[in-house]
Chains A and B, each alone.
Chain A
Amino acid sequence: MASVRHWLRGIGLATAALAATTILAPQVQAQTPAPPPIKIGILHSLSGTMAISETTLKDVMLMLIEEQNKKGGLLGRKLQAVVVDPASNWPLFAEKARQLITVDKVAAVFGCWTSVSRKSVLPVFEETGNILFYPVQYEGEESSKNVFYTGAAPNQQAIPAVDYLMANEKVKRWVLAGTDYVYPRTTNKILEAYLKAKGVAADDIMINYTPFGHSDWQNIVASIKKFGSAGKKTAVVSTINGDANVPFYKELGNQGIKATDIPVVAFSVGEEELAGIDTKPLVGHLTAWNYFESVNNPANKAFIAQWKAYTKNPKRTTNDPMEAHYIGFNMWVKAVQKAGTVDPAKVIDAMIGISVPNLTGGYSAMMPNHHITKPVLIGEIRADGQMNTVWQTSGTVVANEWSPYLEGSKDLIADWRAPLSCGNFNVVTGKCGGASK
């Protein structure tokens, strides 16, 4: 009983102290008028399975915010990062997003990696009208008023990669291997339709799905090897995600599949993932991205130097989604300056048409479909785990958020400018609302 009373007294004291500070606060503020900071939400998993990829993105956001504050902040106010940890738990993403928007009152959120986490937070952003910057390459087939997609749509990554293999490696037979979830399934559906449109026979396409974190690749690699010995040049298009890649590449190396025989082009393997493997057996396998750390230009060099200094680790690598956040953040800053306010509704309108330098030596622009223009780079893995750019598009590519190769989406476009202001406008029926009539 005594302890409870003691505890109650503690609360009483604390309340009194709080009251005192709130009374005193205005006087203090009157002397040095510092406007409240602009809060920015960072919604990346810092624990659980996705921490491997997402922790880096949290760090790069903190670096960008610090950098902006050194330049004097934004609209005369400092920026303040609010970091939450959705712990690789998809429903928790929605909860944490709501907390960021309604409790912390952030001006914009940078976050998510997997498509399922994006789908989980989408209703929250559409309901509250806030902004999400999504930095990862994804399957497309979506355009939300409240989301800005700074990663690649399939036509900004997968299709150019297939074109490259067809033209330069004369590939005639295709293995589409992926992890069993929405991004690989949709991407492979698009690729399959695309390949068939290019005259590839159904017999020459092999599709294979594996569970998340698959680690025993023996017979799948053996069947790829067998599929590849039908006398036609064969390539593997890999949408294998995350941790499953390392055992997959190890098995390829051990079974003696070299890039010169059956090249593998991967869409989810970047510098960060390669840092965890012995890359010698992988030399020559391909990746397709919109940015490589090895890209040689002053902006990228400065970014890498800044990143290494910020993390105090000279071995840290940079990767494509980091560049996407770099572009997204700079676009948001420009849009806020243009709108003169951080009010999400005004910033969303100001975003379209904003153009900022990317790290590959060009400019990326925000298009009316809320996706950005990007160059596409094809790289070969080098022995040091970096990519050697062997091909790149001459300019930037505009995203097809709705794939023209899929039945359900070929008539759809997204345009968030007035008066259309629609994410799934059907050009055949002339109505907003998707493929259904």
Chain B
Amino acid sequence: MNLLKAFLVLAMLAVAPPARAQSGDVFAGLASDNFDMISEAVTALALSGDKQAAPTIHALQDEALYTAPDGNLLIKGAAGYVDARTGAQLADIAEDDLVGVRVNNRVRRAVEAALGSLDLFASSPNIRRKAAEAVFLSRDPAILPALSRAIAAETNDEVRLVMRQAQAASLLASPETAEAERLAAVAVIRARGGLEAQSLLGSLRDQTPAVTAAAGEALTALDRLQQLWSMVQSVIYGLSLGSVLLLAAAGLAITFGVMGVINMAHGEMVMIGAYTTFVVQEIIRARAPWLFEASLFIAVPLAFLVSGAIGIVIERGLIQFLYGRPLETLLATWGLSLVLQQAVRSMFGASNRDVGTPQWMSGATQWGGLTVTYNRLTIVVFAAMVLAALMAVLRYTALGLRMRAVTQNRRMAAAMGIRTPWIDALTFGLGSGIAGMAGVALSQIDNVSPNLGQGYIIDSFMVVVFGGVGNLWGTLVSALTLGIVNKFLEPIAGAVLGKIFVLVLLILFIQRKPRGMFPLKGRAVEQ
């Protein structure tokens, strides 16, 4: 009802009559196959005040607007087809004859701008805010009268601020604005800040000298601010990369760090975790689509169990015969990694598998000048939780106690009645299971393909060795250090050279401190 009222308000605006006068049927242009005609029709429709304008343009945005051979425009909805011009439900539509209204980026821009102007009077403050932001980007002077009305009617301070910013942007774009108003507008946009503001100020052309000077000054100030923010942003990117490295390496810190097994198939455990996520999502998509948002929570324990079980099988079936023979272990696990990759390739196919991202992990949030994407943020939190859980297991559980006992002094532990082979298998299973959980997280940022693990195996070894073999805190510090160094080098040296620099630095470091940053001390190490 509110929406309807809003459209009536819009209909009464001064812009409506001239648009109507141009052509009898503003919808007709939509049926064209020329993109320019379609986008002009969208703009005209938005300004026409027709009550069917909003649903039609929304349908166009969702690619649900079709033309019938008789020139009728139809909106495809959940309950069949609706006539776009009248809103009446239609029956018996020959779907094969319908042609979708063609959309390209030009049309999409027109649609966004149009929805911006239509939604300014929506009942939800969120939608109004989005609309105002769309107007800020489209800066169409034709919307100015509507914008003034919207500002006058606005009750929410935050939304009103965005509307004023949009008004300032549109004023700068209009040739009729007086100089004083322009200067005020530049000040409003300078106060807004952000990349969009910079883009807008940078694009100003044909202004009076005073306005140009003010815009230039604002631009320099914003630029300086931006540079400060980007330093902080680099640290955040580094932490995010570091947490990915930490997740990938945490399992290896157990199998290689604690047990001393050079496990080249570690990456494949990660890959199996990612494929477990895929299978879980496939089942959810087929059986219980409403559960999709929670799919990752289901996948995490399952991935732990699947990878962990495979890890135990590998330890019992292969690695237990190779203890104390690092070279053979290296070759055998490397061969195993190829076998696992090809097995997955035969089972699931060589191409990437589509693992969906739940809604709550999509998009980004702004903190001042910082952009933090939700998927990365989730992974940082998840990595911290995994590391904390792992440390708790080692520190506080009976299993952890036995693991530590076996790795510190195998013969003494055996003398105390601990079944050391069994503990070996469980420890390897734990390390592999953690790799599997890492796979769930990586499925959100990387390809789920048989090669997934290969990309992480070298980085994982690097993290564990750099941090100090056998030390979980060392793994944490080294993962974060490598992440941050990488992200600071990348903008300066480029991604390729940056990686090379990190490797060279690491080699130099290992030359000086072969045991890494936090070496374990004591008799056990000497054996």
A interface, CB within 8 angstroms of B: 46-49, 51-52, 55-56, 168-169, 180, 208-211, 213-216, 218-220, 222-223, 225-226, 228-232, 243, 246-247, 250-251, 253-256, 259-261, 263, 272-273, 275-278, 281, 284, 380, 382-383, 388, 390
Contacts of A383 in B (CB 8 A): 63
Q: Which of B240, B345, B375, B447 is close to A243, meaning CB atoms less than 8 Å apart?
A: B447
Q: Is B373 a contact partner of A255 (Cβ separation < 8 A)?
A: yes
- Bound-state CA distance A167–B364 (Å) is 32
Residue from B198, B447, B499 with most neighbouring chain A CB atoms (10 Å): B447
CB proximity of A388 to chain B, nearest CB, Å: 7
Contacts of A231 in B (CB 8 A): 198-204
- Bound-state CA distance A22–B242 (Å) is 66
Q: Which of A216, A256, A272 is close to B364, meaning CB atoms less than 8 Å apart?
A: A256
Q: Is A213 a contact partner of B371 (Cβ separation < 8 A)?
A: no
If A226-B195, A255-B373, A390-B104 touch, whether A214 touches B241 (CB-CB below 8 Å) is no
Contacts of A284 in B (CB 8 A): 104-105, 108
Q: Is B342 a contact partner of A246 (Cβ separation < 8 A)?
A: no
Contacts of A47 in B (CB 8 A): 341-342, 345
When C-beta atoms are compared, the residue in chain A nearest to B452 turns out to be A243
Q: Mark B84-116, 1 if CB is under 8 A from A, else 0.
A: 000000000000000000111110110010000
Q: Is A246 a contact partner of B447 (Cβ separation < 8 A)?
A: yes
Q: Mark B41-69, 1 if CB is under 8 A from A, else 0.
A: 00000000000000000000001000000
Q: Is B105 a contact partner of A169 (Cβ separation < 8 A)?
A: yes
A218-B237, A231-B200 known; 12 new pairs, CB 8 Å cut-off, are: A55-B349, A180-B496, A209-B495, A218-B373, A222-B371, A228-B199, A229-B195, A230-B198, A232-B203, A261-B137, A263-B105, A284-B105
Contacts of A253 in B (CB 8 A): 362
When C-beta atoms are compared, the residue in chain B nearest to A285 turns out to be B105
CB proximity of B312 to chain A, nearest CB, Å: 27
Contacts of B244 in A (CB 8 A): 216
Q: Is A232 a contact partner of B202 (Cβ separation < 8 A)?
A: yes
- Bound-state CA distance A247–B241 (Å) is 13
CB proximity of A230 to chain B, nearest CB, Å: 5
Binds A, one of B121-129, B321-329, B350-358, B386-394: B350-358
If A218-B240, A219-B234, A382-B63 touch, whether A260 touches B108 (CB-CB below 8 Å) is yes
- Bound-state CA distance A222–B372 (Å) is 11
Q: Mark B223-242, 1 if CB is under 8 A from A, else 0.
A: 00010001001100100110
When C-beta atoms are compared, the residue in chain A nearest to B241 turns out to be A216
In the A-B complex, list the 5 residue pairs whose CB atoms are closest, starting with the nearest.
Answer: A276-B352, A231-B202, A231-B203, A229-B199, A254-B373
Q: Is B496 a contact partner of A209 (Cβ separation < 8 A)?
A: yes
Q: Is B446 a contact partner of A49 (Cβ separation < 8 A)?
A: no
Q: Is B376 an interface residue (CB 8 A)?
A: yes
CB proximity of A59 to chain B, nearest CB, Å: 11
Contacts of A169 in B (CB 8 A): 105-106
19 cross-chain CB contacts under 8 A: A49-B451, A169-B105, A216-B240, A219-B237, A222-B237, A222-B371, A226-B195, A232-B202, A243-B352, A243-B451, A247-B445, A254-B374, A255-B373, A260-B109, A275-B351, A275-B354, A380-B104, A382-B63, A390-B35
If A243-B447, A388-B103 touch, whether A225 touches B491 (CB-CB below 8 Å) is no
If A49-B451, A247-B445 touch, whether A214 touches B495 (CB-CB below 8 Å) is yes
Q: Mark B470-496, 1 if CB is under 8 A from A, else 0.
A: 000000000000000011001100111
When C-beta atoms are compared, the residue in chain B nearest to A253 turns out to be B362
- Bound-state CA distance A209–B63 (Å) is 35
Q: Is B165 an interface residue (CB 8 A)?
A: no
Q: Is A278 a contact partner of B357 (Cβ separation < 8 A)?
A: yes
Contacts of A220 in B (CB 8 A): 490, 495
Q: Is B455 an interface residue (CB 8 A)?
A: yes
Q: Is B449 an interface residue (CB 8 A)?
A: yes
CB proximity of A250 to chain B, nearest CB, Å: 7
- Bound-state CA distance A1–B487 (Å) is 65
Q: Which of B195, B199, B201, B495 is close to A211, meaning CB atoms less than 8 Å apart?
A: B495
When C-beta atoms are compared, the residue in chain B nearest to A212 turns out to be B455
CB proximity of A176 to chain B, nearest CB, Å: 13
CB proximity of A66 to chain B, nearest CB, Å: 21
When C-beta atoms are compared, the residue in chain B nearest to A215 turns out to be B446
When C-beta atoms are compared, the residue in chain B nearest to A54 turns out to be B350
Q: Is B363 an interface residue (CB 8 A)?
A: yes
If A254-B364, A383-B63 touch, whether A229 touches B447 (CB-CB below 8 Å) is no
A-facing residues in B432-462 (Cβ within 8 Å): 445-451, 454-455
- Bound-state CA distance A360–B375 (Å) is 40
Q: Is B181 an interface residue (CB 8 A)?
A: no
Q: Is A278 a contact partner of B354 (Cβ separation < 8 A)?
A: yes
When C-beta atoms are compared, the residue in chain A nearest to B199 turns out to be A229
When C-beta atoms are compared, the residue in chain A nearest to B371 turns out to be A255
Contacts of B446 in A (CB 8 A): 215, 243, 246-247
- Bound-state CA distance A197–B189 (Å) is 36
